[in-house]
Structure 1
């Protein structure tokens, strides 16, 4: 591998925790369908070579160990000087989303990653499940309402002890975020949610901006190829026209749009050429007319969270899960 990254620098955004900056462009490691560990490890090494410095994982993804192995190998190869050059995000799964299990879950994550800390630790979904074996999808009988107060207090303790530099949430609506803010001593630094030109989340982004919470976008290209993905984003005629005028790909236009919204964004491709294309969002911009056209694209959520409903609650409908923000 060539140790010289193709990308010289990816901009960073300050987090409200005051404990660091997050690279605006991150590399996602979730795979649907799943891939073997060696494939994940190789993709991470290629992403590091390209210049990615933010890596997103989760206990559910089974990508923590290969990510950790890739980081060790990247240091050994001289692709990076140390783990400290990277920003690593992981997430707390639902079965561990109980006050007494948060710290043990994070400790397991750190062991998998072979690191002493993560840069960001997120509550993966605003729902708990019966403690025990991690599983997805979660059985309907195993869902439990999350005790936000005890879970968030445990997350705060993880930050105080230095096991994570920042804490946050994922897939939280405005209402659920407010429930955390009402009891938080340390506010969430990040809310990781679906955002793309076909699901722009204007209300949620404004809510988070007003409270100093950074939105980090997943499904930035519509998650094509996943079981819940859509071609609607990459096949948008509006985006195609803008891409053609710019001499860019539709994916690059989507990512540049998100970048100009002042949010963080995650991309996921294990193909090195597309890794490089996805990172080519700097040094050019969208015109005000183009941004206006994108703002008028019909909206529709893709990741509805159907697997987090249960007739026994706590969320019997997707409207209850998202508090109507769909």
Structure 2
């Protein structure tokens, strides 16, 4: 009798192992376990999914040892990858289009933000009587870093009012305490930046917002359609050579996006580093509530969003010719689809 019982138990254990086996096989060994990610302004809500996935150990759970290097803005992070000191950029999707126009092939493979979350505001101290965009001619405008997505949004706002980028001075101020200090000390007259910085300045009456993409509606008003924002992107060659690594990175980010869908403000406060709060917990949470809907849900980049980004760039960037850009090569949803199914995002 005991022998039969033992056999049944063995059979049950074997059956359970067989059921579990496909799940294990579904996660093949990563080609590159140690991965370096360059990000431009990690403390911004723009990159919150990256921070959440890091802080909650989701990269480690996928068998990755991820090192994240923080730079002043997205353009600086991109330079790190182009220069070979990092593997992957956590940055704005539109850089992949810009790069392709210069014959450099990069591909986005998981979306973190479905709206740019960038607001442009004029200093109420430097320009108290401000009425319209042309008044910014000859002024100093703060951006996270020249060439970054904050710079791109400023270019778009100016070009629509007939102001050329060459008619203003752009100054890199980062995305945290340095940006606040630059505006408050009068080093700049206006600023295009992300949250929590812009909400902090707005709530204290230090800036007057003139363009806002922190909500889906605001993004649609500015760009005329959905505008994909932060994503993980890398040289096309890297993506092709390291599909399992890209899948693992995507899994970690989508896991973070899934967590963010139900996380409350107190969960966010407990998870992000204290320095991200910029000394004002209440304003940090007010900023989070403002940009929450801009966070991606499942890591998928919408085709319509890619077209919006191309149209926006081509409107003020002469080197970007829409008929010469192959949008299909600038992003892939292959990894995000698998991660979405796995995490039911």
The TM-score bracket by the shorter chain reads under 0.3
Q: Name the TM-score, length of structure 2 as normaliser.
A: 0.25
Structure of greater Rg: 2
Q: How does the TM-score come out when normalised to structure 1? A: 0.25
Highest relative contact order (Cα 8 Å, sep 6+), 1 or 2?
A: 2
Q: Which is helix-richer, 1 or 2? A: 2
